[in-house]
Amino acid sequence: MDIELKHIHKRFGAVHANNDISLKVSAGHIVAVLGENGAGKSTLMKILSGYQPADSGEIWLDGKSAGSYRTPQGAISAGIGMLQQDPLDIPAFTVLENFVYGQNTGFLFSPRKWRERLKSISARLGFELDSDQPIAHLSIGQRQQLEIVRLLSMGVRTLILDEPTTGISAEQKLVLFKALRELAMHDHMSILLVSHKLEDVIALCDSVVVLRGGQLVGKLQMPATTDELVRLMFGQELAPHAHECLINPKIAINLDNVTLKGKRVTVENFSMKIRSCEVIGLAGLEESGQDLILRACVGLIKATRGQITVNSSDMTGKSYRDFLAGNVAFGAAGRLEEGLIAGLTLTEHIALTTENKTLVDWARATLVTDHKIKQYNVRGRPDSPIETLSGGNQQRLLMALMPDNPVLMALEQPTRGLDVDSARWIWQQLLERRAHGTAILFSSPDLDELVTYSDRIFVAYAGRIVEIPDATQTNIDELGRLIGGNFEKESAL
Amino acid sequence: MNPPSNRTALTVGFALLPIIVSLVITAVLVLAVGSNPIDVLVAVAEGAFRNSNSFAGVVNFWIPLALCSIGLIVTFTAGLWNIGVEGQMIVGAVFASWAALFVDLPAPLLIPLEIVLAMIGGGLWAALVGFLKTRLGVHEIFGGVALNALANVWSIYLISGPWAPPTGGTAQATAPFKDSALLPPLSSEFPVSLLALILVAAALVIVTFALRGTRWGLQLKATGKNSKSALLLGVPTLQSAMTAFIVCGMLAGIGGAYRVLFTYASLRPLASGGIGFLALLVVLLVGLRPMFAVMIAFTFAVILGGSTRLKVALQLDQSLAGVLQGFIVLLVLLSNGLRQRFMPAAVEPPTPITATVEVQRIQPPV
């Protein structure tokens, strides 16, 4: 499907999120939309997929004006479907039920017919979906596959994908890319990819367009190198991070022979000592056990056996709030689900974490918020509701809410969904705290990030944990192999 | 977006809209049975305002309704549906009745004792709902409904059994309370309890301030909007939920006590008279603003109190007010939907029914 956007404008208050964007995507092409956080990518994609209308401008599909659809259903019937970063499915439903919802099944629903249809589309794309599985048992990668199959079944001719490789395995990524190429080549679908992962863009796309400050600032035919893309996005190249080890003998946290039971995986008899000033990476596919370890370090999961010591006081069996009082900080992967509160302003967030008296001193809280906004370079006002901030700014605020010098920071995917620049900024902050003695424990699906920043890495696979004692001596290939469960070479080392 | 004054106007508009439309529909119904809606309106207004006595009736209905509404704003802020407010009124009434029946003290001591006992009773009954919710994972709506039924059965048992009047136990009421146990009226022309009015004003001021200006209020709000995040930010979410229930229960308890210590002067079955449920409706109508709630509660009191006159004046059944109330329920829900469409991110209606306080510890994302 040929898509043409003509002079799209969208304003949010004072922010000109999309400023006169004109863009052409021809059928059969895979185009990456790049830009830093707040560049206007999401806004443009939401306009194209009907989640919000443009203030002005036109959308032409296959040489005809699409009129103005104002809802995602409208966009889907015009042939445009969007795959959200977090799949919008219903966890209580089965795969088949999710597949059919929104589709015109007629008054009498025939499960057999739809099961066949699900099967044939997924078989063609190389997806493995069991139609009777509940969604809750699926990985993010599989839920994404289901959503693609559903959109295709609804006759979508253009697919927009928002950060599709976040949180899926390397293998699922290969399957996804193969399917997308197949759809572009044989079905002449146009595909728009929004991603911060430049290696994905290089591996998949035919061309890229770059947004900066709401405007279209560049187009590039692939192949291109990462450096060229970065230059286009930021107008400059980024210096690589120099790894630096800090030695401090103080033990920040000690997990002694703990057993952690998760829903589907159990980590048994695991021991780990983290010293002050250390950066520890946790690698592994979803639900391999690394989340259990991370959450056990802050008391969100209780060990069924073993002992946990923080700063040489016994914290075994203590609650999250006790850990918090012990100066341990936690940051969850889903910012608006676990960490920030939609509907509360920045000041209210700051007051929640800083005001300890019975009466809240709102004047002081506003002052503190103003100060933190400057210190952490948050784009927002003290009275802005948190959900109006962009992802990068939410992450900055989350950082501002954490104590200044914690013993340990346990962070799930601290740079999830952030562009290169924002991710770097977050790490600067983290490393600064580490220089003051904080130990950092983080999980990440990004192998590059793990290798770049960790002193040591623990790799989880189905509850088994292997340690890489010196992260500078490993590389992405080795890490990738370990994550996939191939431990043999490691034990030979 | 909209300037604040415009927004306030819209808020008021959306609060009044369902009431006006319900009045119109009811008027059509009245026409259908061959009466004049204007006459009905006049009769209701007469019922409410024809003299100081009838107006006192309205105020007496309003007092417990306002107390429950203020209490429910606290639980709604914490994201909780305290449907058990009826039961909390009844238990408050029972506790107060115990003192009224069996404690021999002069009025200046007995009345405060009754009020305190009512608060303890209502608070305890609410704490039970909270306990079921936070410790055992029973949703507060189910727990509340069950405890409402239990409270009702318990009060009926007391009336027909241990507390039955010595002569002719009819299960209608206990023996009338002694005078020293009753709240004194302002005057015989305007029989309303001054103490109760003061309590309503105090509750209004304290709750408004506590929700805006205290850490407790902020924590309630955080818990109501996202208990998972609130917990991770260090809010004791279970305590927040528990205290919200208890505060609401205490206010409902006073409301229940007012019914037996003033309106009935004895303990009767279902002393709450559905006022708790009506209060839920009031809060649904106005969102989380105590001042508005008190005002809307008054409007309801006028309509329901005034409609008692319908039978006398027009030979129409008093249940016409119930019909009106039913339409208001439906139209409030409709209007909330419209409000969300036209005033996105505006002052929100109370948390939807799915809002829950997390009982389980947070598990890693699946």
| Closest residue on chain B to A14 (Cα) | B1
Q: Residue A411: which pLDDT band, with cuts at 50, 70 and 90? A: very high
Residues of A whose CB is below 8 A from B234:
321, 324, 352-353
Q: How far apart are CA A394 and CA A402, in angstroms?
A: 13
pLDDT tens column, B152-173: 999 999 998 888 887 765 668 8
Tokens of residue B102, six digits: 């069996």
Residues of A whose CB is below 8 A from B228:
337-338
CB burial class (10 A; 0-12, 13-18, 19+) of residue A390? buried
Determine the residue among A137, A338, A402 to mutate to test chain B binding: the one whose Cβ has the most chain B Cβ atoms within 10 Å. Answer: A338
Contact B94, B288 (CB under 8 A): no
Tokens of residue B271, six digits: 């002393």
Residues of A whose CB is below 8 A from B226:
336-337, 340-343
pLDDT tens column, B169-192: 566 888 889 889 899 988 888 899
Tokens of residue A354, six digits: 């800083």
Contact A337 B363 (CB under 8 A): no
Assign residue B363 a region: left if phi > 0, alpha if psi is -120 to 50, beta otherwise? beta
Residues of B whose CB is below 8 A from A401:
233
Q: Is A92 on the interface with B (CB under 8 A)?
A: no
Average pLDDT taken over every residue of chain B: 85
Nearest to A330 among B232, B365, B366 (CB): B232
Contact A50, A44 (CB under 8 A): no
Q: How far apart are CA A186 and CA B10, in angstroms?
A: 53
- Which residue, chain included where needed, has tokens 């022979």? A257
Contact B229 A287 (CB under 8 A): no
Q: Please report the pLDDT score of residue B346 as a whole number.
A: 40
- Alpha carbon distances (Å) from A144 to A147, A205, A413: 5, 19, 19
Q: How far apart are CA B330 and CA B138, in angstroms?
A: 28
Max intra-chain CA distance, chain B: 68
Sequence-distant contacts of B293-299: CB under 8 A, at least 24 apart: B293/B66, B293/B69, B293/B70, B293/B73, B294/B66, B294/B69, B294/B70, B294/B200, B294/B204, B296/B15, B296/B69, B297/B62, B297/B65, B297/B66, B297/B69, B298/B58, B298/B62, B298/B66, B299/B19
Q: Please report the pLDDT score of residue B353 as a whole number.
A: 36
Nearest to B214 among A295, A341, A360 (CB): A360
Q: Please report the pLDDT score of residue B349 as a whole number.
A: 38
Contact A343 B229 (CB under 8 A): no
Determine the residue among A135, A327, A344, A409 to mutate to test chain B binding: the one whose Cβ has the most chain B Cβ atoms within 10 Å. Answer: A344
Q: How far apart are CA A22 and CA A54, in angstroms?
A: 13
Tokens of residue B86, six digits: 């009826």
Regarding pTM above 0.90, the answer is: no
**pLDDT higher than 50, residue A263:** yes
Q: H/E/C letters for each residue in chain A?
A: CCEEEEEEEEEECCEEEEEEEEEEECCCCEEEEECCCCCCHHHHHHHHCCCCCCCEEEEEECCEECCCCCCHHHHHHHCEEEECCCCCCCCCCEHHHHHHCCCCCCCCCCHHHHHHHHHHHHHHHCCCCCCCCEHHHCCHHHHHHHHHHHHHHCCCCEEEEECCCCCCCHHHHHHHHHHHHHHHHHHCCEEEEECCCHHHHHHHCCEEEEEECCEEEEEEECCCCHHHHHHHHHCCCCCCCCCCCCCCCCEEEEEEEEEEECCCCEEEEEEEEEECCCEEEEECCCCCCHHHHHHHCCCCCCCCEEEEEECCEECCCCCHHHHHHCCEEEECCCCCCCCCCCCCEHHHHHHHHHCCCCECCHHHHHHHHHHHHHHCCCCCCCCCEHHHCCHHHHHHHHHHHCCCCCCEEEEECCCCCCCHHHHHHHHHHHHHHHHCCCEEEEECCCHHHHHHHCCEEEEEECCEEEEECCHHHCCHHHHHHHHCCCCHHHHHC
Q: Please report the pLDDT score of residue B200 as a whole number.
A: 96
Nearest to A360 among B213, B348, B361 (CB): B213
| Closest residue on chain A to B219 (Cα) | A352
Minimal C-alpha gap between A275 and chain B (Å): 24
Minimal C-alpha gap between B4 and chain A (Å): 14
Give the contacts of A420 (CB within 8 A, at least 6 positions apart).
A36, A196, A198, A230, A233, A234, A238
Contact A352 B234 (CB under 8 A): yes
Residues of B whose CB is below 8 A from A360:
213-215, 217-218
Nearest to B232 among A338, A348, A358 (CB): A338
Tell which A residues from 432 to 491 touch B, by Cβ distance under 8 Å. none
Contact B215 A358 (CB under 8 A): yes
pLDDT tens column, A184-227: 988 899 999 988 777 888 888 999 998 887 888 888 888 877 77
Nearest to B233 among A287, A300, A401 (CB): A401
Average pLDDT taken over every residue of chain A: 85
Residues of A whose CB is below 8 A from B361:
300-302, 320
Nearest to A357 among B215, B231, B234 (CB): B215
Q: Is A168 on the interface with B (CB under 8 A)?
A: no
Minimal C-alpha gap between A174 and chain B (Å): 22
Higher pLDDT pick, B361 / B322: B322
Name beta bridge partners: A313.
A310
* Euclidean distance between the first and the last CA atom of chain A, given in angstroms as a whole number: 53
Contact B218 A353 (CB under 8 A): no
pLDDT tens column, B230-245: 999 989 999 999 999 9
Minimal C-alpha gap between B214 and chain A (Å): 4
Contact B364 A301 (CB under 8 A): yes
Contact A263 B348 (CB under 8 A): no
pLDDT tens column, B44-55: 888 888 888 889
pLDDT tens column, B124-147: 999 999 999 999 989 999 999 999
Cα of B202 vs its chain's centroid, Å: 16
| Closest residue on chain B to A91 (Cα) | B366
Q: How far apart are CA B257 and CA B98, in angstroms?
A: 11
Residues of A whose CB is below 8 A from B216:
358
Determine the residue among A341, A347, A398, A411 to mutate to test chain B binding: the one whose Cβ has the most chain B Cβ atoms within 10 Å. Answer: A341
Q: How far apart are CA B166 and CA B151, in angstroms?
A: 23
pLDDT tens column, B328-339: 778 877 887 777
Instruction: Please count the CA atoms within 13 angstroms of the CA of A462 that sit on its side-chain side.
Output: 4
**pLDDT higher than 50, residue A155:** yes
Q: Please report the pLDDT score of residue B343 as a whole number.
A: 63
Closest CA to A163 of A84, A48, A232, A64: A84
Nearest to B226 among A136, A320, A341 (CB): A341
Q: Please report the pLDDT score of residue A293 as a whole number.
A: 93
Q: Please report the pLDDT score of residue A481 as a whole number.
A: 77
- Alpha carbon distances (Å) from A206 to A33, A82, A212, A220, A356: 11, 19, 20, 9, 55
Q: What does the pLDDT average to over A437-460?
A: 89
Contact A156, A125 (CB under 8 A): no
Give the contacts of B108 (CB within 8 A, at least 6 positions apart).
none
Nearest to A300 among B215, B235, B361 (CB): B361
Assign residue A413 a region: left if phi > 0, alpha if psi is -120 to 50, beta otherwise? left
Q: Is A363 on the interface with B (CB under 8 A)?
A: no
Q: Please, what's the b/e burial string for A303-328 (b: 16 or more CB within 10 A of its CB; e: otherwise)?
A: beebebbbbeeebeebebeebbebeb
Q: Please report the pLDDT score of residue B81 as a whole number.
A: 93
Among the residue ranges A417-421, A436-440, A470-474, B119-123, the one predicted with the least confidence is A417-421
Q: How far apart are CA B24 and CA A54, in angstroms?
A: 39
Contact B351, B79 (CB under 8 A): yes
Q: How far apart are CA B22 and CA B26, in angstroms?
A: 6
Tokens of residue B327, six digits: 């339409």
Give the contacts of A120 (CB within 8 A, at least 6 positions apart).
none
Nearest to B364 among A262, A344, A385 (CB): A262
pLDDT tens column, A384-407: 888 888 777 888 888 888 888 899
Minimal C-alpha gap between A62 and chain B (Å): 33
Nearest to B234 among A295, A338, A353 (CB): A353
Minimal C-alpha gap between A343 and chain B (Å): 7
Q: What does the pLDDT average to over A66-73?
A: 78
Contact A359 B213 (CB under 8 A): yes
Q: How far apart are CA B88 and CA A415, in angstroms?
A: 48
Q: Is A14 on the interface with B (CB under 8 A)?
A: no
